[in-house]
Chains A and B, each alone.
Chain A
Amino acid sequence: MSNGNLPAPEAAAELTAPIRHTFVESISRRLPIICTVIILAMVVIIVLNFLITGAPALSWEFLTEAPRKANTEGGILPAIIGTFFLVLLMTVAAVPVGTITAIYLTEYARQNSILARIIRFAVNTLAGVPSVVFGLFGLGFFIMTIGRGVDRVDWDRRMHVLRDALAAPTSPVAGNRIATISDVQKYLFALRNDDWSGEVKKLQSYPRGVSGPTTAELTVKYLDRTPELHWGKPGLLWAALTLALLTMPVVIVSVEEALRNVPREIRDASIALGATRWETIRKVVLPNSVTGILTGSILAVSRGAGEVAPILFTGVIYSAQSGPGSLTDQFMHLGYHLYLLATQSPDVDGTAPLQYATTIVLLGLTLLLNISAILLRSRLQRRRIVL
């Protein structure tokens, strides 16, 4: 037959024959499953390893007390508190700034404007910088430049006031008179200015001793040699800001993604009703991208909570008896503590349980943060329909 149709029996046989798979096809169906199994197995093995080795060291004491004997005994409570506050501050710094930047890039900037391109370039570059470089930047910029700059300004102000006090008629060294250090100390102490309590103490180490002679000029010169550092040293604030810089690109990119996912139609609907651009953002775009913004924050927090290199020079400390009490305090950190125990501790093998226990706590903290954010997000997703 020349019309190309198969006769009935052959057609039927063709329709009911089993499907033939090529070799490549049969592999490609099984390969994803094999890979998944391998990955899951690795996760399970790692987690079990931690749990088994670390569980013996996990105790109430471990979680609630401060470390003793060079971190080989006691607990890690200061590290838990330190990590918590660090991550909190980092989030507070990174999420709003990142969100606003993303809003500007998506909603306001014309797509090819110079400013938008510069910002995008900066964000992409930041995303590729190694974490330890952020640490150096934090040290050089936040601590040395800004921190010390603030201290310098403050110091100059205080010295100015101190000079005036030393020049006052009631001062023992007024008008180029010579007096002993302890006279000056008593005078300053009597003025009851809390600002100078540190300086009064410092005068104890005056090279000629407290009964040595001094003038107003010499006193100030001596104090000026070692200006007090308050902001110009590693501390919680600078570490948090450094980490915020590190995680900013993550926040910006995911918020941008979330904003772009809001369909053009409902933006148009809002504009057609006479809303300004900001009103549209506030009433339609942002409510619809909250879940995306939260996702971005979760990613950023997770990334930041685990980073150790940026905080090495900007605020973490070997050991402390309590968590950080102010923005200028140094702090213990779970990730750093892990590193210490594994490499610097006097008894590396003996502290293995402590290392693993610290890991469990760190993972647990991260997991807790993630879960609460995910729960918040799913609650918002369910409510989203009637926003």
Chain B
Amino acid sequence: MAKEHLDPKIHTDRLSLYYGEKQALREISIRLHTHKVTALIGPSGCGKSTFLRALNRMNDTIDGVRIDGAVVIDGVNIYAPGVNVVNLRKRVGMVFQRSNPFPKSIFDNVAYGPRLNGISDKKELEGIVERSLHGAALWDEVKDRLDSSALALSGGQQQRLCIARAIAVNPDILLMDEPCSALDPISTSKVEDLIEKLSDRYTIVIVTHNMQQAARVSDYTAFFYMGQLIEYNQTRQIFTAPEKKQTEDYITGRFG
């Protein structure tokens, strides 16, 4: 299977973001590699979640947000006028910090995206749902109760359901905003195993507060501080021999 993927899949070019007068991101330029897991770390309020949401234009839903610079995915600046935002979000999926399944059945949750894309054939939908639930390591636990409510699942299961729902539309890129922060340790490790598996097929960008998690799960790590990208390198490098003092201070817990 010849993989003709652009690498880097995403790169940003002096991306700045303003909430009204306040500047939340300062000229971020970064190259995120295809089929790799990139972790974004940094103290609270440093802009990592804002940056993540800028990659699929979820910040558009907030009033008063202004963007300078560019985010280029597959060679297209997604902030250029005339870009199809709806299609963008089909290619760049997102999993949120707190799981947010729809108050519908498990099946309808996962099938939501495919149905939006016009797939209505029952067999086809069933196939997609099964594949996605397998891909999220949830199939065995729910295969007998696909029609029951998604809200009846445990927290960890709901989050995996959200992952299944996101991959059901077959995106290229998966953005994960602290996906494990609301989960217990066992669910967390299940999701972390999942992330490693998923990176074979998707490019993953994950925001995390947990540095051990970043070290375990990612290939590349970017350290953000006060809206700026301080350091970006292979994970091994960042955690063993960081170049900047700020990075080292953060990693060794001198501030958080």
A-facing mask of B85-97, CB < 8 A → 1, else 0? 0111110011010
Closest Cβ of chain B: how far from A380's Cβ, in Å?
12
Best-buried of A265, A272, A276, A387 by chain B (most CB within 10 Å): A272
- Asked if B105 is an interface residue, CB under 8 A from chain A, the answer is yes
- Asked if A284 is an interface residue, CB under 8 A from chain B, the answer is yes
Distance in angstroms between the alpha carbons of A111 and B61 in the assembled complex: 12
Residue pair B103, A272 in contact (C-beta under 8 Å)? no
- Asked if A274 is an interface residue, CB under 8 A from chain B, the answer is yes
Distance in angstroms between the alpha carbons of A111 and B162 in the assembled complex: 30
Which residues of B129-169 are within 8 A (CB) of A? 147-149, 151, 162, 165-166, 169
- Asked if B218 is an interface residue, CB under 8 A from chain A, the answer is no
Residue pair A274, B169 in contact (C-beta under 8 Å)? yes
User: Contacts A276-B86, A386-B147 given: A111-B63 contact, CB under 8 Å?
Assistant: yes
Select A385's contact among B63, B90, B100, B149, beta carbons within 8 Å.
Answer: B149
Which residues of A220-270 are within 8 A (CB) of B? 263, 265-266, 268-270
Residue pair B90, A266 in contact (C-beta under 8 Å)? no
Complex: chain B residue closest to A279, CB-CB: B116
A-facing mask of B103-115, CB < 8 A → 1, else 0? 1110010001100
- Asked if B18 is an interface residue, CB under 8 A from chain A, the answer is no
- Asked if A371 is an interface residue, CB under 8 A from chain B, the answer is no
Residues of A within 8 A of B151 (CB): 385
Distance in angstroms between the alpha carbons of A288 and B149 in the assembled complex: 14
Q: How many residues of A contact B (CB 8 A)?
A: 22
Residues of B within 8 A of A385 (CB): 103, 149, 151
Residue pair B147, A273 in contact (C-beta under 8 Å)? no
Residues of B within 8 A of A273 (CB): 89-90, 93, 112-113, 116, 165-166, 169
- Asked if B98 is an interface residue, CB under 8 A from chain A, the answer is yes
- Asked if B203 is an interface residue, CB under 8 A from chain A, the answer is no
Best-buried of B56, B88, B112 by chain A (most CB within 10 Å): B112
Distance in angstroms between the alpha carbons of A272 and B147 in the assembled complex: 23
Which residues of B150-196 are within 8 A (CB) of A? 151, 162, 165-166, 169
Residues of B within 8 A of A387 (CB): 103-104
Residue pair A274, B162 in contact (C-beta under 8 Å)? no
Residue pair B149, A275 in contact (C-beta under 8 Å)? no
Distance in angstroms between the alpha carbons of A276 and B84 in the assembled complex: 11
- Asked if B102 is an interface residue, CB under 8 A from chain A, the answer is yes
Residues of A within 8 A of B108 (CB): 386
Residue pair B89, A265 in contact (C-beta under 8 Å)? no
Closest Cβ of chain A: how far from B63's Cβ, in Å?
6
Select A274's contact among B90, B100, B101, B102, beta carbons within 8 Å.
Answer: B90
Residues of A within 8 A of B88 (CB): 274
- Asked if B58 is an interface residue, CB under 8 A from chain A, the answer is yes
Residues of B within 8 A of A265 (CB): 96, 98, 100
Residue pair B112, A270 in contact (C-beta under 8 Å)? yes
Distance in angstroms between the alpha carbons of A385 and B103 in the assembled complex: 6
Best-buried of A266, A269, A276, A283 by chain B (most CB within 10 Å): A269
Complex: chain A residue closest to B112, CB-CB: A273
Closest Cβ of chain A: how far from B108's Cβ, in Å?
8
Residues of A within 8 A of B58 (CB): 268, 271-272
Residues of B within 8 A of A274 (CB): 86-90, 113, 116-117, 169
- Asked if A384 is an interface residue, CB under 8 A from chain B, the answer is yes
Select B102's contact among A272, A276, A279, A284, beta carbons within 8 Å.
Answer: A284
Complex: chain B residue closest to A263, CB-CB: B100
Residue pair B89, A272 in contact (C-beta under 8 Å)? yes
Residue pair A271, B100 in contact (C-beta under 8 Å)? no
Residue pair B112, A283 in contact (C-beta under 8 Å)? yes
Distance in angstroms between the alpha carbons of A263 and B100 in the assembled complex: 9
Distance in angstroms between the alpha carbons of A50 and B16 in the assembled complex: 71
Which residues of B210-246 are within 8 A (CB) of A? none
- Asked if A379 is an interface residue, CB under 8 A from chain B, the answer is no
Complex: chain A residue closest to B151, CB-CB: A385
Distance in angstroms between the alpha carbons of A265 and B177 in the assembled complex: 13
User: Contacts A111-B63, A273-B112, A275-B86 given: A288-B93 contact, CB under 8 Å?
Assistant: no
Residue pair B104, A269 in contact (C-beta under 8 Å)? no
Distance in angstroms between the alpha carbons of A177 and B87 in the assembled complex: 77
- Asked if A117 is an interface residue, CB under 8 A from chain B, the answer is no
User: Contacts A273-B89, A274-B86, A274-B87 given: A268-B104 contact, CB under 8 Å?
Assistant: no
Interface residues of A (CB under 8 A from B): 110-111, 263, 265-266, 268-276, 279, 283-284, 288, 384-387
A-B pairs with beta carbons under 8 Å apart, 23 shown: A266-B103, A268-B96, A269-B96, A271-B58, A271-B89, A272-B56, A272-B89, A272-B94, A272-B166, A273-B89, A273-B113, A274-B86, A274-B87, A274-B88, A274-B89, A274-B90, A274-B117, A274-B169, A276-B86, A283-B112, A385-B149, A386-B105, A386-B108
Interface residues of B (CB under 8 A from A): 56, 58, 61, 63, 86-90, 93-94, 96, 98, 100-105, 108, 112-113, 116-117, 147-149, 151, 162, 165-166, 169
Further 13 A-B residue pairs, CB within 8 A, beyond A272-B94, A273-B166, A284-B102: A110-B63, A266-B100, A266-B101, A266-B102, A268-B61, A268-B96, A269-B100, A273-B165, A274-B86, A274-B90, A288-B103, A385-B103, A386-B148
